[in-house]
Amino acid sequence: MQDIFTAIVQGIVEGLTEFLPVSSTGHLILSGKLLGFSGEKADTFEIIIQLGAILAVAVVYWRRILNLLGLIRLKPSVIKSNQSEESIHSKHKLNLLHVILACFPAMLLGLILHSVIKNYLFSPYTVLAGLVLGGIFMLIGQKKQAPVEAEGIDQISYRQAILIGLYQCLALWPGFSRSGATIAGGLLSNVSYRAATNFSFLIAIPMMVAASGYELLKSYDTLTSSDIGFFLTGFVVAFIVALVAVITFLKLLERFKLAPFAYYRFVLAIVFLAYMLMTA
């Protein structure tokens, strides 16, 4: 029963935080510490529930994904009376190269620094530092937002995709937050909130599949048949919660921007620092 409780709690944490700019890795490490859940089994479990969250965002963006793969053509949600359908479709220029350019820097750097990150940056204290630094960067992105040149995701240029990809490298520090880094980086790169958020979620799919697949190949031998129920529970919970979180966040961001999430990160860091010092 304790295992199922842990699976549900960690699944909820993953689903809520994976695509919010608050750092899912940081939250899983901190919640795992509270639950006394760590070690190889915990590491493998985190990979499994991340796949659940990936599936959720793939469901939300399935049309866009099929369009990028050349399997369908997107229909404009609104066709203005003074524009032909052809002219509207001509603006749909986001393609796989944008995604590749945005993912390549972090994938390459993550592969090179994988051992360093695993060995030195996954302690609770480094995660708390990442929460604070990521929050500061998000506030900078909101305050210093550059004039918008890409109002929609299809107006993002190759240059902007590369810049967002470089900012994504900051999220290799656990606790910094991949979505926080890419959304704030998008704002600093002349991209609107909505476009930066949609692009951040879209490029999360190959990033997380690559990272999760790499880790799963390294730890698959820790999986046993007795863990199937435990892992499946976390996977399903993470999928459902992430699905709701992504849809909700897209609506909330336009109203509240990044600042509330940054302040939440600061409060969380202070609370957990106090907790760790008292229990040390």
Q: What is the pLDDT of residues 206-215, one digit of tens each?
A: 998 988 888 7
Is residue 268 situated within a structural domain?
A: yes
pLDDT at 85: 40
Is residue 219 situated within a structural domain?
A: yes
The residue ranges of the chain whose pLDDT is under 70 are 1-2, 76-92, 222
CA distance 221 to 135: 37
pLDDT at 175: 92
pLDDT at 137: 98
Is residue 246 situated within a structural domain?
A: yes
Is residue 215 situated within a structural domain?
A: yes
Q: What domain range is 187 assigned to?
A: 2-75+92-279
Report field, pTM of the whole predicted structure over 0.85: yes
State the DSSP code for 191: B
Is residue 201 situated within a structural domain?
A: yes
| Distances 94 to 167, 174, 258, 268 between C-alpha atoms, Å | 19, 29, 25, 36
pLDDT at 89: 46
pLDDT at 1: 62
Contact between 80 and 142 (Cβ < 8 Å): no
| 162 C-beta neighbours (distance < 10 Å), count | 16
Is residue 171 situated within a structural domain?
A: yes
Domain total of the chain:
1
Is residue 83 situated within a structural domain?
A: no
pLDDT at 76: 63
pLDDT tens column, 21-51: 998 988 998 899 889 998 888 888 998 899 9
Is residue 38 situated within a structural domain?
A: yes
pLDDT at 84: 36
